[in-house]
Amino acid sequence: MSINEQGADYLLQTLAFFLLKNLLMIRKIHRNMRLRLKRFYLTGLLLAAFSLGSGDVGAITANEVFDQGKRSYDLGRYQEASETFSGFLATWPDHQQHYEALYYHTLASARTLPIRAQNHSGALLEEITAAIATLAVQLPEKDLTEIKVAVDIAQNPIPPTTWEKLAKLSPVSLQHYLANGWHPEPYLSPIETLQWEQTWRNNNKEAVSPELESSIALLKVKAMWQLLLSPLSFSANSDILKKWGYTPLPEHFEKVLNRGFSLANPSSKRDFALLGYHYDHLRNIGLAVADRAPLKSRWLDYLSERGINLQEVNFPR
């Protein structure tokens, strides 16, 4: 290789290294800025709509944006709610519902923290921590425990947990664990799941929030569902199930299913409805047949009203 060829080769290697280094830097900046960009775009859209529509009957208002954020929160779309309230706070910083919006924005952010913290842990935790201090002064009547638990867990990541560990948690901590799926799968150990619920109730005698009641109910019906589909295990564990008051099991399954559905938020109601429909199907018809019309069921009515792709409705585990 000539001197000129060696020089050209060295130049190409240097250029490639420079480009790779800058590409990695750009990707890092992109990860750190993604959350801020989302808020920037949302705020810009809100400002544009407000500016263009001011004076028009159909102009977007602060109350409309607040109500949209609250609807997203109530439906369990916490990422959407967080971004909507973020735009509200940036667009109307002096609004009378400012601190109420900050509360729901912070609570929604806390409920998406385990996922979002992977890319935005530093900035997001600082933002939520600052909001806790503000809300404690401005809205002292609000319960901030769940938000504090979310921050604590994000700062101290937990390994896969066990039923034994869950039995020792307070109601607020347990709700945050269950909401984020930090629990063993009930279908893998249905008897242990039901035993855990008994133990936890014995350790916590105070009243439980409707949200936590529905979360516990969902774990219970999943465990009982597995037993109803497992005749050998069901028979072998019949004595312990009777001792715990879970017999007759089909009746107890329906009771817990109906109560859990009545207390659940919209995002969890879908899980209860899917279990309820498949339970009705197997109880009344049996195994699936390709050319058979869907069983008429209140569970299917609910799922159809909220919208569901039948091609993606699989047998619940």
- Compute the distance between CA of residue 280 and CA of residue 294 in angstroms, rounded to an integer: 11
Read off the amino acid at residue 152. Answer: D
- Compute the distance between CA of residue 108 and CA of residue 113 in angstroms, rounded to an integer: 9
Q: pLDDT-based confidence at 230, cuts 50/70/90?
A: confident
Contacts of 22 (CB under 8 A, 6+ apart): none
Specify the pLDDT at position 31. Answer: 45
**Digit-coded pLDDT (tens) for 251-305:** 999 999 999 999 998 878 889 999 999 999 888 876 554 456 777 888 788 778 7
**Structural domains of the chain sorted by starting position, each given as residue range(s) with its CATH number in brackets:** 3-155 (1.25.40), 163-312 (no CATH)
For tokens 């299913």, what's the residue?
Answer: 257
Calculate what percentage of the chain has a pLDDT beyond 90: 28
Task: Report the range of poorest mean pLDDT among 24-33, 192-201, 225-234, 274-283.
Answer: 24-33
What's the mean per-residue pLDDT of the chain?
77
Q: pLDDT-based confidence at 233, cuts 50/70/90?
A: confident
- Compute the distance between CA of residue 37 and CA of residue 153 in angstroms, rounded to an integer: 26
Q: Let me know: does 72 contact 115? Beta carbons within 8 Å.
A: no
Give pTM, 2 decimals.
0.58
Specify the pLDDT at position 311. Answer: 58
Read off the amino acid at residue 275. Answer: L
Which tokens go with 210? 């409707």
In the predicted structure, residue 85 carries a pLDDT above the cut 80: yes
- Compute the distance between CA of residue 101 and CA of residue 93 in angstroms, rounded to an integer: 10
Q: Give the distance between the most distant pair of CA atoms in the chain.
A: 89
What are the C-alpha distances in Å from 231 to residues 191, 224, 236, 238, 292?
Answer: 14, 12, 9, 10, 26
**Digit-coded pLDDT (tens) for 33-54:** 444 444 444 555 555 444 444 4
What are the C-alpha distances in Å from 43 to residues 18, 31, 130, 134, 137?
Answer: 36, 20, 21, 22, 26
30 burial via Cβ count (<10 Å: 0-12, 13-18, 19+): exposed
What are the C-alpha distances in Å from 44 to residues 48, 87, 90, 316?
Answer: 6, 8, 9, 42
Specify the pLDDT at position 60. Answer: 80
Which tokens go with 266? 């919209």
Three-state DSSP state, 188: helix
What is the average pLDDT across 8-22?
49
Task: Report the range of poorest mean pLDDT among 85-89, 117-121, 160-164.
Answer: 117-121
